[in-house]
Amino acid sequence: MTLDSINPYRPSVAISEKNLDVVPEIQFRLTHRILRYSESKYLIRSHSSRLMLGSMLIITLSTVIFFVAMYFGALSFFTALIGTMAAASAIYLALVHHAKIEIRQNLEAYGMEDGAACSITMNNGAVIINTPTGTYQWPADKLRTYRTQKGQLLLPREPLFLIIPKVNESTRGEYKELIKTIKSKAR
């Protein structure tokens, strides 16, 4: 046994120069959980000003109701507290309801639904995704990228998001390489 055969830091296969320029293709299966998580991150990133103004309105409404309820007594306070929570929930849902419907329709049109087997790669400066309904591409410099706990979120200009889950059918190195390539080209 030679020292070269037991060296754990030596690659088992020689890396050619040709393989260094190839961007890996990441294959993954979309789940309901990853789609809803990504949808919430999309809404926060793309509608942040609307949500901030809505939150300010909810805080103001809660404060006014709190002071009015304190003026009228304890029973009114608990009624006002529950009423304020219901009003806050309704206001928040009203702010994002239309955007949720639109994004879900677009995801369905692009074939990105629960259980869909997808693959994503990059070629000639464009991010290319293969879904059950077809192949779609966006110029990488027109995408905004955000790292999340569950993967990389890519936002094109249209009301749609692309998610590259960390848990996929590729190696961690291929995942990181693709993300690094997309980030270097994205704005």
10, part of any domain: no
CB 83 within 8 A of CB 65: yes
Looking at residue 47, what is its pLDDT?
A: 85
Nearest to 163 by CA among 3, 45, 14, 1: 45
Contacts of 18 (CB under 8 A, 6+ apart): none
Task: Please tell me the total count of domains within the chain.
Answer: 1
7, part of any domain: no
Query: Measured on CA atoms in the order 161, 154, 125, 17, is the torsion positive or negative?
Result: negative
Q: For 46-90, what is each residue's pLDDT tens digit?
A: 888 888 888 888 888 888 877 877 777 766 777 777 878 888 888
Buried b (16+ CB within 10 A) or exposed e, 84-109: beebbeeeeeebbeebeeebeeebee
Looking at residue 23, what is its pLDDT?
A: 81
pTM of the entire predicted model: 0.75
Residue ranges making up the domain that contains 111:
24-185
Percent of the chain with pLDDT over 70: 86
Average pLDDT over residues 36-45: 93
Q: For 9-39, what is each residue's pLDDT tens digit?
A: 666 555 544 455 578 899 999 999 999 999 9
50, part of any domain: yes
56, part of any domain: yes
87, part of any domain: yes
Looking at residue 121, what is its pLDDT?
A: 94
13, part of any domain: no
1, part of any domain: no
What crossing angle do the helices spanning 48-72 and 32-46 adopt, rounded to 10°?
90
Give the other-Cβ count within 10 Å of 165's Cβ: 21
Looking at residue 18, what is its pLDDT?
A: 43
Looking at residue 163, what is its pLDDT?
A: 94
Looking at residue 143, what is its pLDDT?
A: 93
165, part of any domain: yes
